[in-house]
Amino acid sequence: MKKILYATALGVLALFLSACGGEEPEAVQPDSYSMTEDYVLSLQVGNTTGLLSGVLEDESQVRGVEVTLSAPPVVVDEVFYFPLEDVVEILGGTCEIQLDLARVELFGDTTLYQIGEPVILVNGESRKVEPDRPAFREEYVPIPAQQGAPRWIDDVFYVSNGFYVEDGVGFFADQYPEKDMIVLNHQLWDEITVEGISAAEGTMLPELPKEVTKGFRKTRTIPGEADGWYDFDVYQRPGMELYVMNVRPEYEGKGYGYDDEVCAILVTESGIPTARGLQVGDPESRLDLLYGNLEHPLNLAFHLIVEVEDGKVAWYALYNRNWLVETNPHLP
């Protein structure tokens, strides 16, 4: 029976693709965005408001903007589902639904979904969906792909957050059980960049554009580990500090390559947002919606530290592995 359903699904999907191929997709709604695949979208069970961050096709950015769904995400049979058409249009694609089939144009791909089938058609090729894990369980327990197949819920076409295939076509999400939340993503590649300055390894302070470093002044030096090769110079301007690696005099000229590398960025004032739109002074609830649990092993923002005081963000810092948070806790 399983093989019959599989073949039937492909046949119906192929006919649908042929029937829709010559039609013009509906125009993207004014409150939608022409996103690139560099995005994150936070969704919560029962909440019709999501938060979107990412890069637009014109290379500008949206940072933690509120977007509205016509129906809320739900959990059914231990699977997290969201309304397909809403999410596709928010990201700048189009979704056409006829009978039990949905035709999606998004990020240059044409994908067909069918109610009840764990098979999608991507640019004419059939792809079987990988099994997902139950929503909001800490342990990974695979469940059948059939259990997460598209379904109608209150006359809305829903797909699951695990409805993806091995090469990344479809939707993938990190889960945050303590918030009943998922973050759909294709990853933000500038998660550790602020005001044009990156904390990624290899960012050398002298190589940054002058307009980016304008206003920074060296204020102090923090000693590194006693038996280490580096100290850390601190450059400061209002609201920001840069922690820059400095080879100790006795090791200069001996090939230690991290000299002048920016290894941490501290932000202490409002008006300087992260890639997802978090700012000093934001309520802790916004931090939760933008990032979930920062200590979660799958969190894409694992190089972010946030200090919360009295329910608000007091400061945040971005860093790379050379900062060695455990041994250099010199942030405020």
Is residue 328 in some structural domain?
no
What confidence score (pLDDT) does residue 9 get?
42
Nearest CA to 69 among 29, 114, 122? Answer: 29
Which stretches of 159-268 are DSSP H helices?
210-213
Least confident window among 3-7, 19-23, 305-309, 321-325: 3-7
Separation CA 42–CA 44 (nearest Å): 7
Is residue 131 in some structural domain?
yes
Q: What is the pTM of this model?
A: 0.79
Are 232 and 245 in contact by the 8 Å Cβ rule? The answer is yes
Give the model confidence (pLDDT) of 204-245 as tens digits. 999 999 999 999 999 999 888 767 788 899 999 999 999 999
For residue 12, pLDDT beyond 70: no
Q: Do 25 and 64 fall into the same domain?
A: yes
Domain final residue, candidates 150, 185, 220:
185
Q: Do 151 and 253 fall into the same domain?
A: no
Q: Do 8 and 146 fall into the same domain?
A: yes
pLDDT above 90: percentage of residues in the chain: 43
CA torsion, points 303, 307, 311, 313, in degrees to nearest 10? -70
Is residue 332 in some structural domain?
no
Q: Do 9 and 75 fall into the same domain?
A: yes
Number of alpha carbons in the 13 Å side-chain half-sphere of residue 301: 26
Q: Do 51 and 155 fall into the same domain?
A: yes
Q: Do 120 and 179 fall into the same domain?
A: yes
More confident residue, 6 or 68: 68
Q: Do 134 and 268 fall into the same domain?
A: no
Q: Residues 148-175: what's their mean pLDDT?
A: 76
Is residue 150 in some structural domain?
yes
Domain span at residue 161 reads 2-185
Inter-CA distances, 157 with 71, 96, 296, 304, Å: 10, 11, 30, 36
Enter the DSSP assignment of 28: P
What confidence score (pLDDT) does residue 8 get?
38
Q: Do 144 and 197 fall into the same domain?
A: no
Q: Do 161 and 33 fall into the same domain?
A: yes
> Token pair 């007091």 is at which residue?
314
What confidence score (pLDDT) does residue 5 get?
33
Is residue 306 in some structural domain?
yes
pLDDT above 70: percentage of residues in the chain: 78
Q: Do 40 and 174 fall into the same domain?
A: yes
What residue ranges in 129-255 does DSSP mark as E strands?
151-153, 156-160, 173-176, 181-185, 193-194, 197-198, 217-222, 230-237, 240-247
How many domains in the chain? Answer: 2
185 SS3 class: strand
Inter-CA distances, 219 with 20, 112, 222, 244, 320, Å: 64, 58, 10, 12, 21
Name the strands in the sheet holding 109-114, side by side, starting at the edge strand that comes first in the sequence.
Answer: 94-98, 101-106, 109-114, 119-122, 125-128
88 φ, ψ (degrees, to nearest 5): -60, -45
Q: In the structure encoding, which two tokens stand for residue 175, read together?
A: 């889960």
Q: Using 50, 70 and 90 to split pLDDT, how confident is the model at 18?
A: very low
Q: How many residues does the structure list for the chain?
A: 332
Q: What is the distance between the terminal CA atoms of the chain, rounded to a whole angstrom?
A: 63
Is residue 104 in some structural domain?
yes
Domain final residue, candidates 155, 185, 215:
185
For residue 11, pLDDT beyond 80: no
What confidence score (pLDDT) does residue 250 get?
81
The CATH code of the domain that includes 90 is 3.30.457.10
Domain final residue, candidates 165, 185, 205:
185
Give the model confidence (pLDDT) of 48-101 as tens digits. 999 999 888 888 889 999 999 999 999 998 888 999 999 999 999 999 999 999
Least confident window among 7-16, 180-189, 217-226, 268-277: 7-16
> Token pair 């969190």 is at which residue?
299
The CATH code of the domain that includes 219 is 2.60.460
Q: Do 15 and 137 fall into the same domain?
A: yes
Q: Do 201 and 224 fall into the same domain?
A: yes
Is residue 149 in some structural domain?
yes
